[in-house]
Amino acid sequence: MQYTLILKPPEKIRNRITRIKRNLESIYGYTGSLSCKGVHITMAYLKNPEVLDITSLKRICGTIYPFYFTIDGTGYFEREKGGKKSYIVFLRVIPSPEMVRFHSMLIHSLELNSMDTERFLPHITLIRKNVDEYKLHEIIKFTNNLNVSGRFQAKYLTVGKRRKQNTHWHFEHLNFSKI
């Protein structure tokens, strides 16, 4: 089994972001996942995605009040592979103090099974394929003009599970039950 830990914006905003991703794909080619279900904020990167203590996650979610986050603006990550630079363009997620606290608790519960904990930058990926330096500036200009922003409430953590690579994800919501 493979796992992922994510937050999902409301369906209305996921649908809007999906339309933007489809627009980007029509201009720049394959961008990554285009499913509305695929629009998410990754809360932790797992070193071993086949190991996850769901009981511990449920316990943490039971101590959390629903919290807010804001989407505002775009940004990008630079990566280098085989001596070639490429870019990942994303919508910025501005975490509330409660979201930061939840992330910290989540990482602590994962112990040695989490990566990049000190560099956590919540975001929603718009395009992660076929982006070179020339296209990057075009894409940033295009996405900055889309005005995708707003304040949204997270009411649960979503745990994605799948049997193996290239199979469908199945999602379970772990409610923030301190309401």
Name 9's Cβ contacts closer than 8 Å, sequence gap at least 6: 17, 39, 40, 41, 71, 124, 152
User: How much is the pTM?
Assistant: 0.84
Question: How many separate domains does the chain show?
Answer: 1
pLDDT digits (tens, 9 = 90+) for 113-147: 887 666 778 899 888 877 888 888 888 888 887 77
On the question of pLDDT at 80 being above 70, the answer is yes
29: domain CATH number? 3.90.1140.10
pLDDT digits (tens, 9 = 90+) for 27-59: 887 777 656 567 899 888 788 878 888 899 999
Q: What region does 166 belong to: left with phi over 0, alpha with psi -120 to 50, or beta?
A: left
* Domain with 53 in it: 2-175
